[in-house]
Amino acid sequence: MTRFLLLTAVSIIMGVGAFSQQQINNPGFETWEDVGIGTDEPTHWSSIKTSDNINLNPLAPVVWEKSTDAHSGQYSLKLFNVSTFGIVATGTITNGQVHADFNPNLGYVFTNVENDLFHTAFDQRPDSLTGWFKCNPAEGDFGTVKFVLHKGYLKLPGDEANLIATAYYELPHVVVTTWTRFSVPFNYVSEETPEYFLSVITSGNGVDALDGSEVWYDDFAFVYKSSDIDENSIHYFFASQYENTLHVELDDIPARYYQLSILNTNGQVIFNQKAESGNRIEINTDQINSGLYIMVAQYNRQVITRKIILH
């Protein structure tokens, strides 16, 4: 029986040197890791259970989980607000580190430049941020997404002296039951080159969050500006696996040649060849380990990606 592996696209329109443009680590929350707190965290992301306050970490509630309700792939991130000790803990994930305090007004996330686990080096200037979500907010509440590019140390909210650009999105205040895409621009306030990016993703409105709000997130991506690209120029490509063969079909636009690649989750290229549109490509998977991979089709200066799962 054919296993269909087409997963909803994470389309990224890129300029020259597409493969060198930096992206978010584990943007679709497909990989998770045991960090010794009793429940897994998404790889390259951290929570209030791994804050800089080791005395509070055991007391902090779990406000996230690995969800099988995914926009693409196997998993997404679910965040939810929880009331504990009379305080609503906001579902929060960051690529930095959480500074925790019993007083929510004193909490923040920050780029810990001294610890590789809690910062992401980043020196490019994307045009915008995209992602997918579903939400079930308590009445009067809403989730938020904030990514900032900066130099040196920075915390959110708070000291933003080293700020270079901000992308911010407020989720709807109503229930959204289908996967919905958002796209927000980076607003640049400096011509300097970034050194890091810092994100904070929530299921509620900060210290005003309400108990019970829920948000599902998946497939974040940085988009790089390219003014001469038609976003619809790649119509589709599909992948399906039958036994030990991966079948790939590209769109039927005549006389197009794509560079087709497969990358593992560490970014290593395990397959690479040119392919003509309208043809079916057959790839032997005997020597490829089972698991999650990223398939990339590049035409001229446009790149489109798919998550695939090989069995």
Asked if CATH classification 2.60.40.3080 holds for the domain at 3-9+230-310, the reply, yes or no, is yes
pLDDT at 107: 86
Instruction: Encode the chain (311 residues) as per-residue pLDDT tens digits.
Output: 333 343 333 333 333 334 457 889 999 999 999 989 989 999 999 999 999 998 888 988 999 999 999 988 889 999 999 988 788 889 999 999 999 887 878 889 999 999 999 999 999 999 899 999 999 999 999 999 999 999 999 999 887 789 999 999 999 999 999 999 888 899 999 999 999 999 999 999 988 889 999 999 999 998 887 533 343 445 566 777 777 888 787 766 666 788 888 888 777 888 888 888 777 788 888 888 888 888 888 776 667 777 788 87
pLDDT at 301: 60
pLDDT at 230: 41
Spatial CA neighbour of 71 closest among 18, 135, 123, 155? 135
Spatial CA neighbour of 90 closest among 244, 206, 11? 206
Structural domain spans, the chain: 3-9+230-310, 22-223
Class (C level, CATH) for 22-223: mainly beta
pLDDT at 81: 94
Q: Is 73 left (phi over 0), alpha (psi -120 to 50) or beta?
A: left
Q: What are phi and psi of 115, to 5 degrees?
A: -135, 120
Q: What are phi and psi of 14, to 5 degrees?
A: -125, 165
- The CA distance from 52 to 164, in Å, is 25
